[in-house]
Amino acid sequence: MSDDEKAAKELVETLRDGEKGFTAAADKLRDGDHPEWATLMQRLSEERAGFRQEIVALGHDYGDDVDESGTAAAAVHRGWIALKDALTGDDAGGVLGAAATGEDHAVSEYEKALEQDLSAGFREVVSRQHQAVVAARDEVKALQAAD
């Protein structure tokens, strides 16, 4: 398995988890004191879906099926919103904290991918997505600090 394929599989899982997590966060925040936070979470969920689709399409271009689930790292991280919800209920600060934790994980996965020997075209995509994920994490952490 190439470094591109290994990195792509990990990132696809991370992005799938982020997509689901941000959707859950948006659902929790929608009826709260800050509905604009729900709008942001939904936008980030859609961004993650787009990133995932982009990586899957690149994999298909190379003949790789990178859209299979079940990596060990992702399995450990999966359900980050559900776990946090069990502890915090509908508390906006708790939901933002879970989202920030999820984004820290996503940034870490992108950084691990960038340490690998990726092809030039895939590295360009991963680097661009990494910048967007870092910006999203910073945005979520700023909301968390303002709460």
Q: pLDDT-based confidence at 17, cuts 50/70/90?
A: confident
Look at residue 15 in the predicted model and tell me its pLDDT.
92
For residue 61, what pLDDT is reported? 66
d(CA 34, CA 84): 19
The mean pLDDT value for 57-86 works out to: 59
**Band of pLDDT at residue 87, cut at 50, 70 and 90:** very low
Q: What is the mean pLDDT of the chain?
A: 84
C-alpha span between 57 and 35 (Å, rounded)? 33
Q: State the Cα–Cα distance between residues 29 and 105, nearest whole angstrom.
A: 21
Kindly tell me the number of DSSP H helices and DSSP E strands found in the chain: 6, 0
pTM value? 0.85
